[in-house]
Amino acid sequence: MKKRFRVFVKGSLVLVYLVIAAGAIVRMTGSGMGCPDWPKCFGYLIPPTEREQLDWHPHQTYHKGEVIIVEESLRVANQDFISDTNYNPSHWEAYTKHDYAHFDVYHTWIEFINRLLGALAGLATLLLLISALLQWSKSKRLTLVALLIVLGMGFQAWLGKTVVDSNLLPFKITLHMGMALLIVALLIYLLEYTATKTIQWPKIKGFKTLSLLGFVLTMAQILMGTQVRQYIDIKMEAFDPSLWLATPPAIFYLHRSFSLLILILYLYLGYKISQAGAIPKVFQWILGMLGISIVTGIFMYYFDFPFSFDAVCSRPPTCAGGGRSGNPSGATGKTGSVSVCQVFLPYNRCADLLHWLHGARDKRRSNPDG
């Protein structure tokens, strides 16, 4: 029974990690509003694949809750009906939770996959709770922790809805991320608690206190990182990368300094552990991942925010090729275009290249004989 329970724990942990990874992709590509409603996506269980599907059409069957875009705003069907020859406003209600009414197929499906993974993770944790309930007589702690995880997943689902309804309010995004990490911590605790062979930590004075301090500081560092990223997203409206960090807020410097504080703390812990015996492999992994995280942050700072793989534009003024002209995608006029060159070049280099290309194109159009 315990072996089956650990399978559910591992499955839930993998799925939650996939949700976090998908959430990072959503954040990086600006796809958070790819589905502007919740739990459906534009009123559909399976989201649309073309913009035309969200236009009003005559003599078409609409179901209550389906969404269309009319004059750059969302309209929701208030009943089941078949449309007439002309658009009838009485069949539709304005979507009032926010005014975001754009469709980009890439953003929509990235966000939809993120939600789908979240639903699968929720189902896995529910199976985990059922398995724990079957062992209630043997270990009440398993059931209580599993219940906390399921409640946490439910809270995450509700929080995800409020994030969309608020049009990606920054502190709600941060809370969303923090809750996901707490769920991961609880799942890892269950793995350790049910393991037949546990990690043997040396008995060091103050080890538990320092470990708890390291955990709290690491959580604070991650949450501050979400706020720094949000600040950069806002500053990207200026388009010129040289202005992004012209007057950074205090949290930017605090986030940068915290990384050194955490590194020193974990190096000290590693030194104390090595004095008492061999350093456990899991702690070596912690130090390695911490070092990679710091090096990544340094590269992101010196090679332009966002990093060069930030390839999908999320706001018209920030998209390479359209920021100065007001056209988010050059010739097409569609938002959310993918700039291939940003996969290979830093943001400012890519922007300069695309501006030059678009300028040459416009000049050629204005003087076709030249």
Q: How does residue 234 score in pLDDT terms, banded at 50, 70 and 90?
A: low
- Residue 318 pLDDT grade (very low, low, confident, very high; cuts 50, 70, 90): very low
Specify the higher pLDDT residue, 339 or 158. Answer: 158
Here the tokens at position 50 are 């073309």
Spatial contact of 163 and 173, defined as CB atoms under 8 Å apart: yes
Q: pLDDT at residue 33 above 80?
A: yes
Compute the CA torsion angle 142, 144, 146, 151 (nearest 10 deg): 180
Closest by CA to 256, choosing from 234, 236, 284, 227, is 227
For 296-330, give the DSSP string.
Answer: HHHHHHHT-SSPTT--B--SGGGSTTTTTTS-TTT
**Are the C-beta atoms of 16 and 184 separated by less than 8 Å?**
yes
Q: Model's pTM, two decimal places?
A: 0.70
Q: Are the beta carbons of 19 and 118 closer than 8 angstroms? A: yes
| Interatomic CA distance for residues 59 and 107, integer angstroms | 29
Alpha-carbon distances of 310 from 110, 320, 348, 357, rounded to whole Å:
14, 11, 12, 20
283-308 pLDDT, tens digit per residue, is 888 888 888 888 887 777 776 544 44
Other Cβ atoms closer than 10 A to 283: 17
